[in-house]
Structure 1
């Protein structure tokens, strides 16, 4: 009887350690429909303009400069104003060498008060490399707080997880 209980406990231990990760292959990920967010900005609107830079990591080095570890990156674009709508006029993704990989918008788009939208760079997409980055151009009404741009990089393998964040820096150009 003791052997049966011991074998059952071992079996349950192995079963409990089984790592099941849903990669979401059965559903399409939620993507921003930029065309539904298009905004018309009049030349007479009194808007402040700004540019922000955000570092993103599609990969990081592991053990040496010859081995890399892939990451999922989520870029968070946030309107921190409680009353004003803000506008994004440019959202571009560059690789480690400064080569433009993707332009996410063709026309200005809006973010409603306190709204957040995300761009996800899949773990399998390593085109950005170890030093990829985003450039954002934005417009806000006078007196409105600047938008907040953050990057959240994550990866999980087995029982180990890794995550860290980056914050955008305003460019004075």
Structure 2
């Protein structure tokens, strides 16, 4: 009987631990390799860099209390006919230190497509002043990529959300 109780308890503990791991993020990461593309120097593409402010946390009540946020980082192609190419998406913390780079090979985003990066609410590594730098290229005379951050958090009946837009820095 003791062995049966031990087995059942073990099963319950393992089930809870497995469920907790799955709840870290409700979205599956994009398979960046399936989006990678080789670009030739002869493609005559226009290059650019865009800065996007992102918030993993914001201050609440005082500078000593913060509120964690989930960030949805959208990389959008507003062109009807041409793909755009994102060469690098690098995430920085409040102090300007690189946290992670999502891909180092160019990826394509099809016309009118949106590709997203989700920063989980539990991931506080960016802090209150996190940001992204995106390096991109486009065909001449096409629209530049549009980068947007949507930060959100809910607690009980209270919700908090706001957006940021990218600005071209190079």
TM-score by length of 2: 0.85
Hey, what does 1:42 align to over in structure 2?
40
Match of 1:112 among 110, 113, 117: 110
Equivalent position SS for 2:143: coil
Hey, what does 1:71 align to over in structure 2?
69
Distance 1:65 1:164, change over 3 A: same
Hey, what does 2:90 align to over in structure 1?
92
Hey, what does 1:81 align to over in structure 2?
79
- Which shows bigger deviation, 27-36 or 148-157? 27-36
- Cα distance in structure 2, aligned partners of 1:55 and 1:159: 27
Match of 1:158 among 147, 152, 156: 156
- Cα distance in structure 1, aligned partners of 2:134 and 2:146: 11
Equivalent position SS for 2:42: coil
Structure 2 residue 169 is matched with structure 1 residue 171: yes
TM-score by length of 1: 0.83
Hey, what does 1:33 align to over in structure 2?
31
Structure 2 residue 136 is matched with structure 1 residue 142: no
Q: Which structure has the larger Rg?
A: 1
Equivalent position SS for 1:39: coil
Equivalent position SS for 2:161: strand
Unaligned runs of 5+ in 1: 1-23
By percentage of residues, which structure has more helix? Answer: 2
Equivalent position SS for 1:130: helix
The CA RMSD measured in Å over matched residues stands at 1.4
Unaligned runs of 5+ in 2: 1-21
Deviation at 1:90, TM superposition (A): 1.0
- Cα distance in structure 1, aligned partners of 2:47 and 2:25: 38
Deviation at 1:30, TM superposition (A): 2.2
How many pairs are equivalent?
Answer: 149
Match of 2:120 among 119, 122, 145: 122
